[in-house]
Structure 1
Amino acid sequence: MKGLRVLDLARLLPGPAATLRLAEMGADVLKIEAPGAGDASRVMMQSSADRVAGRPGAFYRQLNRGKRETRLDLKSEGGRTVLMALAREADVLIESFRPGVMDRLGLGYDVLRVINPKLVYCAISGYGTQGPYSQLAGHDLNYIGYAGVLDQLAARDGTPILPNFQIADLLGGALSAVNQILAALWAVARGGDGRFVDVSMAHCTHAHNVVAQVALANDGAAPVAGSSLLNGGVPCYNLYRTLDQRWLAVGALELKFWETLCMALDRPDWATRHWSLGQAIAGPDAAQLIKDMAELIATRPLAEWVELLVPLDCCVSPVLTAAEAAEHPLFNAAAREALIAQQTSDEDAD
């Protein structure tokens, strides 16, 4: 995306995350903030050290790395004039104001498309620019609540969890915006005009709630926790507590992985007790085997299970903390290089 010029008027998480991904692809992103306090993410989740040092917090820094920054007062004639000049040369503009704000400022798509017909203008909002909910305020928790997703993130007693992962902001907002922007840019590259990209976080999240919608089509109702193939109704796809009170994720959904796991556990008699061989999902046998598996996994600490099972490639993994994930070879370059060096050394020794 080198040479792609992006104007980022968005705030908080969804829009800045989208422009971050574009910047990572090589786009030239100019983040535009209002004078004064600027983007509220500058002080959101700000550490005391950052506050004392007078610098934006890690939340802002992570989302806006690799971007240029400037300040514009879009309520002033001068600020609007500068933005019009920038938009004339831009390829993409992303904003996350409540629908109608940019129009009232005289900077909406219908105005900007006149001076730049090739402009891809992306508006990210909670509920879209049209419809009875378009002016309703909201955040990630509200969007996943409306989309039927929060209902599916529940404990067995039906209590929804409060996820520390912003599903609607990132999946419904940022990722959907990037996808639709790239599609619009493809049309422009083939000689077409730009377009208005209307990203509703609630609607995009709802569209991704696939498994629940499959259940609706099949049974007329979404599954409650522990009652279906992917939410705890089978022993081969479940979470198990270890001796040291950690968790092991077992995702042996296919029979071949389940058979490998059962052999490693020295329980070959369990290998035929699988949903693909007729075991009723959430039925009595599945419930009993989940209980038996839980008792077995609880006899060893997580590290021992990882050492035994991960090399067997049977879809078993540890549930890592965020701190552990940051140091894991999957995500940490130094740790990955050390692991590769160790594997090479072991191969040479053999």
Structure 2
Amino acid sequence: MRPLEGVRVLEVAMYGFVPSAGAVLADWGADVVKVEHAVNGDPQRGLRQTGSFKVEGDPNPNIEHANRGKRSIGLDLSTPEGREVLLELARRADVFLTSFLPGHRRKFGIDVDDIREVNPKAVYARGSALGPRGVESERGGYDMTAFWARGATAASITPAGSEGLINPPAPAYGDTISGTNLAGGIAAALFRRERTGEPSVVDVSLLSSGLWAMGHGIALSLHLDRAWQAPPLGTHGSTANPLSGLYRTADDRHISFVMLQPAKFWADVCRHIDRPDLIDDPRFTTGELIAANTAQAVEILREVIASRTLPEWTERFATLAGPWAPVQDSLQVGADPQVRANDYLLKAGELELVANPVQFDVTAPDLAPAPEFAAQTEEILLELGLDWERIIELKTAGAVT
């Protein structure tokens, strides 16, 4: 049994951030009903071009990633009948999950007090761009603006002197991280309600998640009164540790070493690269000497590691004691045997999707595909006790899809 089996989530959200929280909750076993605009659906459904990636036909990974495992109902919240259906769904929900801005929550009558009026025990969870307080709390935003740019990642990852700024590495990058944060907050709120009977209002913003992701660097910056700066591209990772940085291989791939105690691992690395002579080299016999002669050690390691391909080094480094990893792109991770062994990529209908990062009892979640737009509208209405005559009336009025 999955940990959230029996939990009902009503999601009134669109795009990537808050729906990705719903996807995680669905992975954990919750019954997530996704409310979409009665005619247009979630605008994310229309996203077919992302950079150089163009998706033709269905399934669409842009919608599947953040909406797998849900059920979809099409509602027009601007009609009295549509809002009536929504409140009836809210009455039965454990969690009300929304990305709507404060003004729109008030307009459609779905703010905290509105939902609590019909369901005093509902956990009310909202995702925002910039947080629930402050002069900008009513403003919207996306992960590029609130998470990446304003949250310090863009400036911190872009080397000085670069033209422009480095963009996020993939679509919905900050959305997905923030959504997972929101799902965790919801789970904690459900635990609190189970223990105390008290519901919570859960808030996560793209800005708060961006700061959290940069938390270590921001703490250092504030303590030392100095902004975090990215090193120039192509530089070794550390000025005092040759075993913490990137090395290019013969096939133009890279290896990442992160051995924070170089004296502990130096001899083992030397043996694995067939340079045992470096073990007793007077420049590298202690941690202090390794730090002092990092530049020389880096040049030696660069030359040696550039002499073999990544597959050759992968075989050799299988027994290496210190932490290392191949640098992989978004396609290469699909062939990583460790990724496959842990079921971090799973089939959901026709697509392979990344599983959420949490596993319970060493078991991967069962992923189901995202619903087609409004595909479960009648099913959900029948569960509310509506008969077919009433459902047809709602459809005729345009309140439901």
TM-score, normalised via structure 1 length: 0.83
- 5 Å matches for 1:1-350? 1-45=4-48, 50-51=56-57, 55-143=58-146, 144-155=148-159, 157=161, 160-165=165-170, 166-171=172-177, 173-226=178-231, 232-233=238-239, 234-255=241-262, 256-265=264-273, 266=275, 267-268=278-279, 277=288, 285-332=293-340
- Determine the C-alpha separation between the residues in 2 that align with 1:331 and 1:129: 37
Q: CA 1:212 to 1:335, structure 2 compared with 1: closer, same or farther past 3 Å?
A: closer
Q: CA 1:182 to 1:72, structure 2 compared with 1: closer, same or farther past 3 Å?
A: same
Letter in 2 for 1:179: G
Q: Give the superposed CA RMSD.
A: 2.9
CA contact 2:20–2:65 (8 Å) conserved in 1: no
- Determine the C-alpha separation between the residues in 2 that align with 1:100 and 1:162: 30
Task: Give aligned pairs, total.
Answer: 327
- Determine the C-alpha separation between the residues in 2 that align with 1:156 and 1:254: 29
Stretch moving more, 209-218 or 300-309: 209-218
Letter in 1 for 2:256: A
CA contact 1:257–1:315 (8 Å) conserved in 2: no
CA contact 1:119–1:193 (8 Å) conserved in 2: no
Q: CA 1:269 to 1:21, structure 2 compared with 1: closer, same or farther past 3 Å?
A: farther
CA contact 1:328–1:335 (8 Å) conserved in 2: no
CA contact 1:147–1:205 (8 Å) conserved in 2: yes
Q: Which runs of 5+ in 1 are unaligned?
A: 337-350
Q: CA 1:225 to 1:271, structure 2 compared with 1: closer, same or farther past 3 Å?
A: farther
Q: Which runs of 5+ in 2 are unaligned?
A: 345-401
CA contact 1:327–1:335 (8 Å) conserved in 2: no
Superimposed CA distance per residue, residues 179-220 of structure 1 (whole angstroms, 9 cap, x where no aligned partner): 211111111101332122121110232133222134225522
Letter in 2 for 1:62: H
TM-score, normalised via structure 2 length: 0.73
Q: Secondary structure at the match of 1:22?
A: helix
Letter in 2 for 1:237: S
Greater share of helix: 1
Letter in 1 for 2:175: D
CA contact 1:168–1:202 (8 Å) conserved in 2: no
Could you tell me how far 1:133 is from its partner in structure 2?
A: 2.1
Letter in 1 for 2:20: A
Q: CA 1:14 to 1:49, structure 2 compared with 1: closer, same or farther past 3 Å?
A: closer
- Determine the C-alpha separation between the residues in 1 that align with 2:105 and 2:279: 64
- Determine the C-alpha separation between the residues in 2 that align with 1:219 and 1:62: 40
Q: CA 1:138 to 1:235, structure 2 compared with 1: closer, same or farther past 3 Å?
A: farther
- Determine the C-alpha separation between the residues in 2 that align with 1:214 and 1:79: 47
- Determine the C-alpha separation between the residues in 2 that align with 1:290 and 1:302: 18
In the other structure, the counterpart of 1:343 is none
- Determine the C-alpha separation between the residues in 2 that align with 1:335 and 1:114: 42
Higher relative CO (CA 8 A, sep ≥ 6), structure 1 or 2?
Answer: 2
CA contact 1:235–1:290 (8 Å) conserved in 2: yes
- Determine the C-alpha separation between the residues in 2 that align with 1:145 and 1:306: 36
Letter in 1 for 2:303: E
In the other structure, the counterpart of 1:340 is none
CA contact 2:272–2:317 (8 Å) conserved in 1: yes
Q: CA 1:285 to 1:66, structure 2 compared with 1: closer, same or farther past 3 Å?
A: same
